[in-house]
Chains A and B, each alone.
Chain A
Amino acid sequence: MRRRDFLTMAAVGGLGAGLGVPAFLRRAAAATPIKIGMPAALSGGYAQYGIQAKRAAELFAKDITAKGGVLGRPVEFLYEDTAGDPATAVRKAQKLVEKDGVKFLTGIALSSEALAVSAKCPEWKVIFMSTINGAGSLTAKAWNRYFFRVNTSGPMGARAISLYLAEGPMKRFFALGSDYAWGRDSVASFTTQITAAKKEIVGTDYPPVGTKDFASYIAKIRQSRADGVYLALPGQDATIYLKQAHQFGLNQEVKPIMEILELENMKAVGDAMVGAIGSSRYPFTVDTPRNRDFVKRFHALHGLYPDMFDGETYEGLEWLAQVIQKAGTDDVEKVIDTWEDSSYEGLEGPFFMRKCDHQAVQLGFAVEAVKDPKYPHPVPKILATYPGEKVTPKCRSEDFS
């Protein structure tokens, strides 16, 4: 190195240290945005989930800007469409990380996408915050340090509804799960827990994903003389089942019990859905001051009521922002350390991020779809609330005992 170069560099270094840099330049450096990447399913059959994540992010961006950002820096969201395909999700996530310099990924819709992206995060050194993905394995077998799950997982939902049914009068259950990982896992988990509660499973079937006509299954469920039918069917399949079961007059005889009771279903099925029970990751009717305010602001922005993943995603983003603020930096390793074993006051109640598998411990809900003249569609009414310790599985596991 030549002497003059050395001097130049020393001078620049000295200036950079803040000795002589004009204030406006320093502020400009500090105001580089914190970027959050959302490789979400915005088109295709699962778009409803990606769109929920995006809606929540839009409201959050508005709120955080009004508060002056995080660490005095603005928050910027970068959306990419994955169409619900795992390979595309990885490609889009990689683009966000490598080209756009994103340190935080969220908004991924499907568990299959989440498993693929989560496996890459240790290599990319970025945080993947799940606010939607249900698969138990994400915080068990497939877990790594860069993965955080803010939402209620599938096994947690199954646990909440099983606890509710264990105390109820229904004795005989039919289980209907879509023929893929989530449907089969949920039915297995439900079967274990319901038989432990001294109840009976009188039949099980696995219709293929995308079934258009459930008439044959409806006939079998009726013949089984079950009191309730447990349904682990993804969005549209559940809508079709409920609509057809209603037309056959089955819903009055055999109570539908949903793995997830979604607003999307309630809007599409309408009054035929009234009476269905199930678990909910986030029922927007929770009566807390924070949630009432959130629902009002959400409705003002989007003109509709928040569904499960609108709420869960908003909570995730708010919590992440608080953690970055507390860490005093957006450095990934420091953010992880700060987040572990931290608490957060969510919309529906307290959250705790346990260190061992980064699963957020939170309330579990059993809900029922009811008619309420205040709303244009049926809404979830809370039947029972369970504390986090009762509905969260053992560390890095999908089991409860």
Chain B
Amino acid sequence: MVEQLLNALTLAGLLFLVSAGLSLVFGILRVVNFAHGVFYMLGAYLGFTTVALSGAFWPALVAVPLVVGTLGALIESSTLRFIYRRPPIYQLLLTFGLALILEEGVRILYGPTAKGIDPPAYLEGAVRLGSLQYPRYRLFVVALGLVVAAAVWLFLRRTRAGLVIRAVAQNSEMADCLGADVARVRTLVFGAACALAGLGGVAAAPMTTAYLGMGIGVIVDAFVVVVIGGLGSIGGSMAGSLIVGAAQTWGAFYLPETAMVIMYAVMGAILIFRPWGLFGEPE
């Protein structure tokens, strides 16, 4: 029981890192970013490179989000910026195209073989919790998820920059009139969202290895999280990640044949009874 709870929290931690950015980007930019999962994959691969170059895990945890975030900001200001006023189909084509280009780019650069990363030595192996043996690294991922969730929440609620971001999310035109630099906010938020996804990728790599297609796998779950939690809401991302994490781990354990169904059933129920999500606001 405790083991399943920890498993659910591990998965929820990783899902939060990805879905928080997806949700933020939608809240601020009104763009459904299909390329978001690719930044998660990019994080994992760059994590592999950083670990290979530096010989240690910690530098990757700092350097990779910075690199992925910068890349994200560059992509926003060089492509997405020009299509905000176009019909949504353009966003779909653009972000989907970006996802394909980046994914094949990674394949050409790294080849088709998955790349394994070892966790740092003192997070190797399992720790004994009562009768239970649990991998140290997973406990670290749980902690990382909690710390980042708290940090993002505090940033948005308690800082001036967070206030501006929330203002742009609520009404970008009004925020513009009041003197907020909306274009800059968009670029920075997109970059920050990509950085979070990159961090998720680095954190996931020791558990899953870095492999092609990991972005597509995670983006489907992240969409479910965002639909359940509510688009644009960080609290919703936290709640949604916990629900999806729990549905997947408990489902696989107790009802393996219907594990996938449970997650989508929850999403379906939300869409019927509360289409704006648990923490979203009706438009």
B115 — which chain A residues lie within 8 A by C-beta?
268
Tell me if A239 and B252 are in contact (CB < 8 A).
no
Task: Say yes or no: is A347 at the interface (Cβ < 8 Å to chain B).
Answer: no
Tell me if A51 and B112 are in contact (CB < 8 A).
yes
A51 — which chain B residues lie within 8 A by C-beta?
111-112
Which 8 interchain pairs have the tightest Cβ spacing? A216-B252, A268-B114, A247-B135, A215-B7, A48-B112, A216-B253, A45-B213, A47-B112
Tell me if B135 and A248 are in contact (CB < 8 A).
yes
Q: A208-B259, A220-B253, A243-B207 are in contact. Are A268 and B7 (CB under 8 A)?
A: no
A249 — which chain B residues lie within 8 A by C-beta?
125-126, 133, 135
Tell me if A243 and B116 are in contact (CB < 8 A).
yes
Binary contact readout A364-383 vs B (1 if CB under 8 angstroms, 0 otherwise): 00000000000000000000
A65 — which chain B residues lie within 8 A by C-beta?
none
- Given A51-B112, A268-B211, 13 further pairs, Cβ under 8 A: A47-B107, A207-B256, A213-B10, A215-B11, A217-B252, A219-B4, A236-B114, A236-B213, A239-B114, A247-B135, A247-B138, A248-B134, A268-B209
Task: Say yes or no: is B212 at the interface (Cβ < 8 Å to chain A).
Answer: yes
Give Cα A209–Cα B214 distance, bound, in whole angstroms.
12
Task: Say yes or no: is A264 at the interface (Cβ < 8 Å to chain B).
Answer: yes
B66 — which chain A residues lie within 8 A by C-beta?
none
Task: Say yes or no: is A210 at the interface (Cβ < 8 Å to chain B).
Answer: yes
Binary contact readout A210-251 vs B (1 if CB under 8 angstroms, 0 otherwise): 101101110110000000000000011001100110011100
Task: Say yes or no: is B34 at the interface (Cβ < 8 Å to chain A).
Answer: no
Tell me if A248 and B126 are in contact (CB < 8 A).
yes
Give Cα A244–Cα B249 distance, bound, in whole angstroms.
14
Tell me if B125 and A205 are in contact (CB < 8 A).
no
Give Cα A269–Cα B116 distance, bound, in whole angstroms.
6
What's the nearest-Cβ distance from chain B to residue A79, in Å? Answer: 15
Tell me if A48 and B118 are in contact (CB < 8 A).
no
Q: Could you tell me which B residues sit within 8 Å of A by CB distance? A: 3-4, 7, 10-11, 104, 107, 111-116, 118-119, 125-126, 133-135, 137-138, 204, 206-209, 211-214, 217-218, 248-253, 256-257, 259-260
Tell me if B114 and A210 are in contact (CB < 8 A).
no
Task: Say yes or no: is A125 at the interface (Cβ < 8 Å to chain B).
Answer: no
Tell me if B256 and A240 are in contact (CB < 8 A).
no
Tell me if A212 and B208 are in contact (CB < 8 A).
yes
Give Cα A247–Cα B211 distance, bound, in whole angstroms.
18
Give Cα A28–Cα B208 distance, bound, in whole angstroms.
55
A264 — which chain B residues lie within 8 A by C-beta?
113-114
Binary contact readout A21-58 vs B (1 if CB under 8 angstroms, 0 otherwise): 00000000000000000000001110110010000000
Q: A239-B209, A243-B208, A247-B135 are in contact. Are A270 and B10 (CB under 8 A)?
A: no
Q: A219-B3, A219-B4, A248-B135 are in contact. Are A243 and B218 (CB under 8 A)?
A: no
Binary contact readout A118-152 vs B (1 if CB under 8 angstroms, 0 otherwise): 00000000000000000000000000000000000
Tell me if B249 and A212 are in contact (CB < 8 A).
no
Task: List 20 A-B residue pairs with CB atoms under 8 Å apart, sorted by A's residue number.
Answer: A45-B213, A47-B212, A48-B113, A206-B256, A212-B214, A213-B7, A213-B248, A213-B249, A215-B11, A216-B7, A216-B248, A217-B252, A219-B4, A236-B211, A239-B209, A248-B126, A248-B135, A249-B125, A267-B116, A268-B113
B114 — which chain A residues lie within 8 A by C-beta?
235-236, 239, 264, 267-268
Give Cα A187–Cα B114 distance, bound, in whole angstroms.
25
What's the nearest-Cβ distance from chain A to residue B244, in Å? Answer: 11
Q: Could you tell me which A residues sit within 8 Å of B by CB distance? A: 43-45, 47-48, 51, 205-208, 210, 212-213, 215-217, 219-220, 235-236, 239-240, 243-244, 247-249, 264, 267-270
Tell me if B116 and A268 are in contact (CB < 8 A).
yes
Give Cα A43–Cα B106 distance, bound, in whole angstroms.
11
What's the nearest-Cβ distance from chain A to residue B218, in Å? Answer: 7
Q: Nearest chain-B residue to A243 (Cβ)?
A: B209
A216 — which chain B residues lie within 8 A by C-beta?
4, 7, 248-253
Q: A240-B209, A264-B113 are in contact. Are A248 and B133 (CB under 8 A)?
A: yes
Give Cα A166–Cα B236 distance, bound, in whole angstroms.
53
B135 — which chain A residues lie within 8 A by C-beta?
247-249
B119 — which chain A residues lie within 8 A by C-beta?
247
Give Cα A213–Cα B7 distance, bound, in whole angstroms.
9
Most buried by B among A247, A249, A270: A247
A244 — which chain B residues lie within 8 A by C-beta?
207-208
What's the nearest-Cβ distance from chain B to residue A262, in Å? Answer: 10
B208 — which chain A residues lie within 8 A by C-beta?
212-213, 240, 243-244
Give Cα A70–Cα B96 distance, bound, in whole angstroms.
46
Tell me if A210 and B10 are in contact (CB < 8 A).
no
Give Cα A124–Cα B250 distance, bound, in whole angstroms.
50
Tell me if B116 and A45 are in contact (CB < 8 A).
no
B11 — which chain A residues lie within 8 A by C-beta?
212-213, 215
